[in-house]
């Protein structure tokens, strides 16, 4: 808040905004970083950097928002949960929307990370778990199919998807889907240890450093 004016920053870090009293009114002066471009200028499959981390653009939505995924998995593998393949009960969800989200908010700005719906329908078509609303999640199987062509492979690791194999009304709540080193999709018990590749949605107006 400057001179009674609330300034909303939807372009991220590095933006300089100041106000000047001109006597007859208030002038707002905005200076954009010269080395950055708007996220909307990138196409699906392009990568950009933010605070030393690379991300891949997956899709631009018509509502001024852009889906992105971290290019590399997080450093440490994690079990999905202690006994349920319901994302809403997952320790990964808790971490991504807690400690990890705070880091993203410092990088992109709290208001620039947009909540999104996560479809928790199981591989065998059961909807016991409904949907979840999160700021950071994992890819569903359908999203992985849609975006795989744009994503860099992780040749030395297995990483979790958010889609369960089945649910309590089907074959049980023990197993989750994951992506293998060759890009194949497999199944693992939720107590198993896999890597994590965060997915989130940003305002397309955010300024980023493009890997040209």
CA distances in angstroms from 200 to 83, 101, 124, listed in the order given: 25, 10, 25
Q: What pLDDT digit, counting tens, does each position of 108-153 carry? A: 999 999 999 999 999 999 999 999 999 999 999 999 999 999 998 8
The ranges assigned to domains in the chain are 71-202
CB of 167 closer than 8 Å to CB of 130: no
CB of 204 closer than 8 Å to CB of 198: no
Q: What pLDDT digit, counting tens, does each position of 32-87 carry? A: 555 789 999 999 999 999 999 999 999 999 999 999 999 999 999 999 998 899 99
Region label for 3, one of left (φ > 0), alpha (ψ between -120 and 50) or beta (otherwise)? left
**Confidence check: pLDDT of 31 > 70:** no
Q: What pLDDT digit, counting tens, does each position of 187-201 carry? A: 999 999 999 999 999
Q: What is the pLDDT of residue 29?
A: 44
Return d(Cα 206, Cα 133) in angstroms, integer: 22
Return d(Cα 59, Cα 145) in angstroms, integer: 13
Mean pLDDT of 5-32: 54
**Confidence check: pLDDT of 19 > 90:** no
Return d(Cα 11, Cα 156) in angstroms, integer: 35
Residue predicted with more confidence, 155 or 144: 144
Q: What is the pLDDT of residue 210?
A: 83
CB of 122 closer than 8 Å to CB of 128: yes
User: pTM (2 decimals)?
Assistant: 0.84
Q: What is the pLDDT of residue 211?
A: 67
Helix (H, G, I), strand (E, B) or coil at 141: helix
Return d(Cα 134, Cα 114) in angstroms, integer: 9
Q: What is the pLDDT of residue 30?
A: 46
Q: What is the pLDDT of residue 117?
A: 98
């Amino acid at each position: 808040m400057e001179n009674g004016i609330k300034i909303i920053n939807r372009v991220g870090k590095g933006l300089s905004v100041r106000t000047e009293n001109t006597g007859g009114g208030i002038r707002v002066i905005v200076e954009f970083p010269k080395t950055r471009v708007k996220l909307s200028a990138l196409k699906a499959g392009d990568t950009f950097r933010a605070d030393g981390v690379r991300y891949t653009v997956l899709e631009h939505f018509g509502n001024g928002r852009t889906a992105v995924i971290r290019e590399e998995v997080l450093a440490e593998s994690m079990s999905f949960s202690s006994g349920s393949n319901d994302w809403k009960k997952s320790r990964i969800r808790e971490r991504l929307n807690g400690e990890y989200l705070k880091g993203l908010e410092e990088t992109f700005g709290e208001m620039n990370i947009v909540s999104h719906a996560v479809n928790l329908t199981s591989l065998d078509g059961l909807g016991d778990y409904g949907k979840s609303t999160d700021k950071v999640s994992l890819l569903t199987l359908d999203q992985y199919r849609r975006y795989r062509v744009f994503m860099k492979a992780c040749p030395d690791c297995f990483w979790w998807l958010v889609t369960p194999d089945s649910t309590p009304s089907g074959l049980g709540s023990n197993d989750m889907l994951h992506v293998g080193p060759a890009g194949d999709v497999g199944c693992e018990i939720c107590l198993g240890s896999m890597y994590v590749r965060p997915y989130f949605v940003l305002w397309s107006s955010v300024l980023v450093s493009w890997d040209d």
